Chains A and B, each alone.
Chain A
Amino acid sequence: MKHQITDNETALVVAFEGDVDLASSPEARKVLLDCLGRKRPVFVDLSRVKYIDSSGVAALVEALQTARKGGARFGLVAVSDATLRVLQLARLDRVFAIHTTLADALAAAD
């Protein structure tokens, strides 16, 4: 799994690429929590995630809960088909704010 953080002034965008599984989800978790610690809106680009499992979803859920506790904005952008399927299986596709593009994410009201 690779990740890239882009500082877009309005928000931090974290893009993950590859497989977010038991081996790589600890890194994903750390990256997300570190970004949230910077007290900026955080959006996660999952368009290049080829595989994600329950441990990857758990990292996203923990990030969402951390964001909510801190009153920070957090959402998903451009989820891959694989990611959307797993979120649907977990009944979490309505829990996360899922935006098609970053512009949509930034424009949307909380």
Chain B
Amino acid sequence: MKRKHGTIDPIVIHLDGPMDWKECVHQVLEPLHVPEEYERSVTEQIEAYGPYCILRPGMALIHGPAFPECRKAGMTVAVSGQPVFFCDKPVSFFIGLCAPSTDQYLQIIRYLSPLLRDPYDTEYLMDCTDQELRTHFQRISEEEEI
């Protein structure tokens, strides 16, 4: 049985100025209007386990657990002109995610994963225009059927 998944329209933002990683997490998640508890859970996990959110050099996935209070799934794509340091690791490209259920979360990750593999590395994605980034990550919504 198949049904269409909800559409994800990625929000592309640019992070300005020097900032610490906590401020960065806040700015990446802010457009998704997530509850404070969600953002707090993200920062607490990074504080506890280190920058496990870094997927590859220069790129991080800012996300927490599935959160029912997040009314719908959402995604930001954030580009920083200056690298933000998570511990000693510089990061300039961020994907922010939230989803109300584990199933939705996992579905998004399955479609997102190939969009972050070679040749779509940090350098490639940093060179994209905002529209190119939107088009690239909108593939998540186009192919969703479960």
**A and B associate in one complex:** no
Give chain B's interface residues, CB within 8 Å of chain A.
none
